Amino acid sequence: MSQDEDDKRLTLKSRKTESLMFVIGLFLFQVFMIVLFAIWVRYDTNARYGGGFDQVQDEIDHTYGYFRDVNIMIFFGFGFLMVFLRRYGYSALGYTFIISAMVAQWSVLLMGFVEFILHNESFRHELFYFNVETLLNGLFCAGAVMITYGALLGKVTPLQMLIVGILEPMFYFLNMYIMEKIKAFDVGGGMTIHTFGCYFGLTVCWFITNKKAKTSPENAASYVGDLFAMAGSLFLWMMWPSFNAAIAPRGDPQLRAIANTFLSLTGSTIATFIVSRLCGHFGHKLDMVHVQNSTLAGGVVQGVLAHLNIGPASAISMGFIVGTISVLGYVYLTPFLAKRFNLQDTCGINNLHGMPGFIGSIAAVIAAAHAINDRSLYSDVEFNILFPAGDEQAKRNAAMTFIVVGVGIVGGLITGAILKLVRKIGGLRKEEYFSDHAFWHVASDYPSGFGSGDDSETGPSSHSVELESKEH
Amino acid sequence: MSQDEDDKRLTLKSRKTESLMFVIGLFLFQVFMIVLFAIWVRYDTNARYGGGFDQVQDEIDHTYGYFRDVNIMIFFGFGFLMVFLRRYGYSALGYTFIISAMVAQWSVLLMGFVEFILHNESFRHELFYFNVETLLNGLFCAGAVMITYGALLGKVTPLQMLIVGILEPMFYFLNMYIMEKIKAFDVGGGMTIHTFGCYFGLTVCWFITNKKAKTSPENAASYVGDLFAMAGSLFLWMMWPSFNAAIAPRGDPQLRAIANTFLSLTGSTIATFIVSRLCGHFGHKLDMVHVQNSTLAGGVVQGVLAHLNIGPASAISMGFIVGTISVLGYVYLTPFLAKRFNLQDTCGINNLHGMPGFIGSIAAVIAAAHAINDRSLYSDVEFNILFPAGDEQAKRNAAMTFIVVGVGIVGGLITGAILKLVRKIGGLRKEEYFSDHAFWHVASDYPSGFGSGDDSETGPSSHSVELESKEH
Amino acid sequence: MSQDEDDKRLTLKSRKTESLMFVIGLFLFQVFMIVLFAIWVRYDTNARYGGGFDQVQDEIDHTYGYFRDVNIMIFFGFGFLMVFLRRYGYSALGYTFIISAMVAQWSVLLMGFVEFILHNESFRHELFYFNVETLLNGLFCAGAVMITYGALLGKVTPLQMLIVGILEPMFYFLNMYIMEKIKAFDVGGGMTIHTFGCYFGLTVCWFITNKKAKTSPENAASYVGDLFAMAGSLFLWMMWPSFNAAIAPRGDPQLRAIANTFLSLTGSTIATFIVSRLCGHFGHKLDMVHVQNSTLAGGVVQGVLAHLNIGPASAISMGFIVGTISVLGYVYLTPFLAKRFNLQDTCGINNLHGMPGFIGSIAAVIAAAHAINDRSLYSDVEFNILFPAGDEQAKRNAAMTFIVVGVGIVGGLITGAILKLVRKIGGLRKEEYFSDHAFWHVASDYPSGFGSGDDSETGPSSHSVELESKEH
């Protein structure tokens, strides 16, 4: 017991160091943002366009509704989707909140930076004008970071998440830069958000997975947590057409983006219920993990090409295929990766974002090749807008598919190595994995000792309470 | 005990059969959809209209916002409204999800079919072009099916719900066909969604209500379940103006649809709190069942005529009246129907959709008659748009009111009879009514033996666990 | 025990009186509304404008999306934010629902009344035409009332809330009248909603705070309640740009309203996590109360001037500053006010609405003074729209800041005195503070005796059950 007490005292000291580093890091980040915004960032304004047309309002009218929906997806959707863990609800919501808010600011600067490099503008003489679409792009970047968080859920300190929130956007916008340069298309971030965010996340995950995490009894859902997670999942599902249509060209492409995404989502939902029952407990029982996640695969798979003329039947089929693969991934691949490759992917992002995103990227290559061969699919005007690289489009998109995976892995290696360096600073004790009480003041009915028998007396929660009473 | 074990083994075998039939049925449905979509369904496109105007984008700008809101109502609103049951949250959300997704696909085909018959087009030579409004109509149809589900909640197998999801849309679109033919109006589905969905549902409910369901101790709310149900209810309430305005003609009628619906909802909310206290426990206590449901009656009652010039005072009054009737229905009628007519209406859809929908339909007949007599209420242009049947409008709408009830009952008889045929396939054991564990893998803290004394040791949940441990 | 029984019988009798007064009051309110609406309120119509342009639809296109978002904020956002209390979820949602619905109706009349006085129109000859913006203004007024409710949460009877719902809007529209007269601006209600609603609420709170409330063990959060509260908080956060942009002039001001609000919210979110950790338990633990509330301060502080050209760096800074102050308020000021001034501010509205609203109001004075001195910030046309009082604008807004505080306190004194008069009518017993069971029929698993040791046997919940069983 005395040994245990010593341990706790050390943990608390180390945690205060972690807190201080988190606080200082976040504060410096905020000061840095404010200074650079003051120097260099301005609102878009009608005065820049001249003429009588209210360009600014037009942008709001067309973009703000989508911005709002994507806002819901990032903060509410991703946040609540990760509340399924029975003792980790505060953390799922809290870190989603703070990291996404940070990334939303950070992205405006990074986007301006990329645009300036691309257009050879001078940072000294020019200002960066932003509008609602700029803010929307920041939410997209936050989406990638939240996907990454899905693999790290329950295993990281706030300081580690802060580091991810600072580093990952740099790699995200590196992809943006490359994509602009090689003229690949990616209307709903199938490559740059889903595939990139996933493989970045899995790489980082590899660094932080350990035996304590893998054997934690707290990596489990609760009944109420599952209901909350469904709220997150459903809002992601319902808003996904907005996600994929938000930056699609107006007119026909925008309708296709909405329609393909919606139909594809219905396809993946149907596949989920079929395969979940086939692979289920007792050979027939549905599993909430599948219903919360695999139903969304149809949105992911449309991420690159939702706006193309693939036909509604293809949209349904694509959704059905990735829904099937996603459930199979949860049943077979996730446990295999955890066992053999030390990759404990908490939310199964490889099944929801990785594989469907990659499949969607390949489908976009095929669709581009098809468009080049069959010019009747698009009018000439539309073709030029949709395929900026012209006859090279299929190759460019193929290249980009592998670039995002590469950038994801390289970025993940760098970030993961840094996370490993700081893992001892306020790091998690065995009983703190997948548990809020390490970093949060918890309510008196914080669930303790779920199904862990005698543990309810001496388990994590009562440890925490004990520690608190000593300190006060 | 041995007898009990045998029973369980039989149940499991039967349930695997049910699962297989569900899986095969759903798979065939999906293949059928993909084939027919491939042959026959295309996105709408500007090329069909000619001219420089972006017709497709215009439709998106006016319809997508409403589509999004109705999407929230169907999947989140109806889903969470039904989570009030303490052990049936997965099923409420899960079956809402899969059946509504199915219906959304199915409806596109059925709608195309109706349009082709109406316009004498050839299925061989013509394609069906769909847009956001088409998808929105699919969600409306899903709304009718979800209303029906409200009466069946807790008493059906997935296979039975699949059958409902396939059959009910056919009758829904039969009503659509008739309504187009006789030129009745129904701007927010007061007749075709609420009244039809309710009487279809009650008829089916009559077939599946039995003693086991009526005596189940699990047909009860939980505190947390009630909070989730309020989330569903509030989203239905808040989005309802979009529901009724979505397909209203632009301009004055659309403003009236929004305003009448909103004001009517405030009226029914006020009535709910008045009558719930008057009829409450101890003569004064409020009841969450009323607050979750009767507050919405004001949206239902505007379902046929929200876009008409009835005046805001009438809108409030209509809401107040149906709110009152709805609470009284919960207090007196629902128990009476369950006792005398073997109609166990789990969610009280007769109180929320049936009676308010019917009253709204009759009000629309009166409003149409009034419009014919007092031509100062509408400009001539508006009159022709709002009352396509001209002086016949009141009669046509009166006829349609009874037609939807008739089609609902006939459809319900056919569907109910089929459900009765398959009720033994994986059918529910006594302790599985209103409980997730029959068809879902449940979390370790799945609530067991609520207020059922010793049952917590030997109740449904531990049965389930026991069964699982044997099978693995 | 016999003494206790007598007490209960008296309580029940008194509560029936309260119920009757609530019911009659609400019914008379509704009749009054219907009569006045019938006489005097009509929908806006294109016929009033003439010409071919669809003015009515244009207003819908620009305002309905914002209306919908603000609707979500009032009914879902405020409602769920207050569900954090472990035994008060029904009441938080229920009273939010009924009082906001009431206020939405009442506001239409009051707004018409104000407009008529302002424009010297005759009530006898003129009708009041309302549109979506009118309904939106009603939701704004409901926002002020919900802020007030935040301070009263857990300590009031339905009758008392009804009185607040009738009286507070009168003072709200008194402010509206004065503001129109002196030409102050307040784009997102920083003065008239947040500052006013807070000081009105704190004044009323002073009347109803008592020892029983302050020592109640039920004024505490639960784990699940905290998750629900996050759903409310996040929807407030995500929709806040709509709140501040809803009535901003189109074009540049609307973009600035969206951008400033969003950036300011990210700033207050970052500040919240920094200061919450610095002030936290054990010197490092995050607190959900801060995360649920102080993150929103960035929206409040932009309430007066979100549409002005303050620059995005200022927006972030303002959010950061008020986020910091808000957390410090929760840590130091709220307990101090409760102890020394008998002000038990349940939700901490002074930290979320009062101080940030006041700071934002002062910032607007500075921004107006700045605009007058530096005319390059706005074009002449824009200047005239944004600053209707011209060179007097800074003074006028300064005056208005203190007027709303004054009207809030005076209104609060009057309302609080009346609440004190009726406090004995069905008033709360000691164990009924912060508890649903006084006025609601609760589910069988209604949480009882949280962390209160032996109380679980004899605590409030079982009292309630006992009372029920006796009465039936």
pLDDT in tens, B291-307: 999 999 999 999 999 99
The answer to whether B282 contacts chain A (CB < 8 Å) is no
Give the residue, C53 or A176, on which the prediction is more confident. A176
Q: Span C53-58, mean pLDDT? A: 94
Share of chain C above pLDDT 90, in %: 82
Q: Span B48-69, mean pLDDT? A: 93
pLDDT band at B50 (very low <50, low <70, confident <90, very high): confident
Q: Determine the straight-line distance between the first and last CA of chain A, rounded to whole angstroms.
A: 20
Cβ atoms of A194 and A147 within 8 Å: the answer is yes
User: What are the pLDDT digits (tens) for A189-230?
Assistant: 999 999 999 999 999 999 999 888 989 999 999 999 999 999
Query: How many Cβ atoms are within 10 Å of B256's Cβ, its own excluded?
Result: 28
What is the DSSP track for A186-214?
Answer: -TT-IIIIIIHHHHHHHHHHHHH--HHHH
pLDDT of residue A61: 95
Q: Supply the DSSP symbol for C185.
A: -
Amino acid type, A445: D
Cβ atoms of B178 and B191 within 8 Å: the answer is no
Please list the residues that pair with B42 across neighbouring strands: B129
pLDDT of residue A120: 75
Amino acid type, B67: F
Low-confidence ranges of chain A (pLDDT < 50): 450-472
pLDDT of residue A449: 52
Q: Span B399-423, mean pLDDT? A: 97
User: What are the pLDDT digits (tens) for B356-374?
Assistant: 999 999 999 999 999 999 9
pLDDT band at C459 (very low <50, low <70, confident <90, very high): very low
Q: Span B110-139, mean pLDDT? A: 90
Does domain B2-44+58-434 match CATH 3.40.50.720?
A: no
Contacts with A44 from chain C: Cβ below 8 Å: 255
What's the mean pLDDT when you consider all of chain B? 92
pLDDT of residue A2: 64
The answer to whether A46 contacts chain B (CB < 8 Å) is no
pLDDT of residue C342: 86
pLDDT of residue C463: 36
Question: Which of C255, C287, C290, C446 should one mutate to test binding to chain A, selecting the residue with the greatest count of A CBs within 10 A?
Answer: C255
Determine the angle formed by the axes of helices C55-71 and B252-278, rounding to 10 degrees.
Answer: 30
Are B64 and A317 an interchain contact pair (Cβ–Cβ within 8 Å)? no
User: What are the pLDDT digits (tens) for C310-328?
Assistant: 999 999 999 999 999 999 9
User: What are the pLDDT digits (tens) for B302-355?
Assistant: 999 999 999 999 999 999 999 999 999 999 999 999 999 889 999 999 999 999
Give the residue, B464 or A254, on which the prediction is more confident. A254
User: What are the pLDDT digits (tens) for B132-147?
Assistant: 999 999 999 999 999 9
The answer to whether A71 contacts chain C (CB < 8 Å) is yes
Distance (Å) from the alpha carbon of A376 to chain C's nearest alpha carbon: 36
Q: CATH number of the domain at A8-45+64-435, please?
A: 1.10.3430.10
**What does the alpha-carbon distance between residue B92 and residue A313 come to, in Å, rounded to a whole number?**
29
**What does the alpha-carbon distance between residue C350 and residue C334 come to, in Å, rounded to a whole number?**
8
Q: Supply the DSSP symbol for A51.
A: S
**What does the alpha-carbon distance between residue B362 and residue A360 come to, in Å, rounded to a whole number?**
51
Are B238 and C80 an interchain contact pair (Cβ–Cβ within 8 Å)? no
Position B158 pLDDT exceeds 90: yes
pLDDT of residue B2: 65
pLDDT of residue A460: 38
Highest mean pLDDT out of B130-139, B376-385, C116-125: B130-139
Question: Which of A26, A97, A137 should one mutate to test binding to chain C, selecting the residue with the greatest count of C CBs within 10 A?
Answer: A97
The answer to whether A24 contacts chain B (CB < 8 Å) is no
Listed by number, the residues of chain C in 121-140 with a beta carbon closer than 8 Å to a beta carbon of chain B are 130-132, 135
- Where do the domains of chain B lie? 2-44+58-434
The answer to whether B466 contacts chain A (CB < 8 Å) is no
Question: Which of A60, A88, A218, A234 should one mutate to test binding to chain B, selecting the residue with the greatest count of B CBs within 10 A?
Answer: A234
Cβ neighbours of residue A165 under 8 Å, at least 6 residues apart? A98, A99, A102, A103, A106, A145
Give the residue, A444 or B388, on which the prediction is more confident. B388
Q: Characterise C25 by phi-psi region: left (phi > 0), alpha (psi -120 to 50), beta (else).
A: alpha
Listed by number, the residues of chain A in 397-436 with a beta carbon closer than 8 Å to a beta carbon of chain B are none
pLDDT band at C123 (very low <50, low <70, confident <90, very high): low
Q: Supply the DSSP symbol for B436.
A: G
Q: Span B211-220, mean pLDDT? A: 90
Listed by number, the residues of chain A in 285-344 with a beta carbon closer than 8 Å to a beta carbon of chain C are none
**What does the alpha-carbon distance between residue B63 and residue B70 come to, in Å, rounded to a whole number?**
11
- Give the architecture-level CATH label for domain C2-43+61-438: Orthogonal Bundle (1.10)
pLDDT band at B240 (very low <50, low <70, confident <90, very high): very high
Position B405 pLDDT exceeds 70: yes
Give the helix ranges, DSSP H, for B153-294. Answer: 158-182, 196-208, 211-214, 223-245, 252-278, 288-293
CA dihedral A50, A52, A54, A58 (to 10 degrees): -100
pLDDT band at B52 (very low <50, low <70, confident <90, very high): confident
pLDDT of residue C2: 64
Residue in chain C nearest A231 by alpha carbon: C231
Distance (Å) from the alpha carbon of A52 to chain C's nearest alpha carbon: 11
Q: Span B441-468, mean pLDDT? A: 51
The half-sphere exposure of B80 on its side-chain side, counting CA atoms within 13 A, is: 29
The answer to whether C471 contacts chain B (CB < 8 Å) is yes
Cβ atoms of B360 and B198 within 8 Å: the answer is no
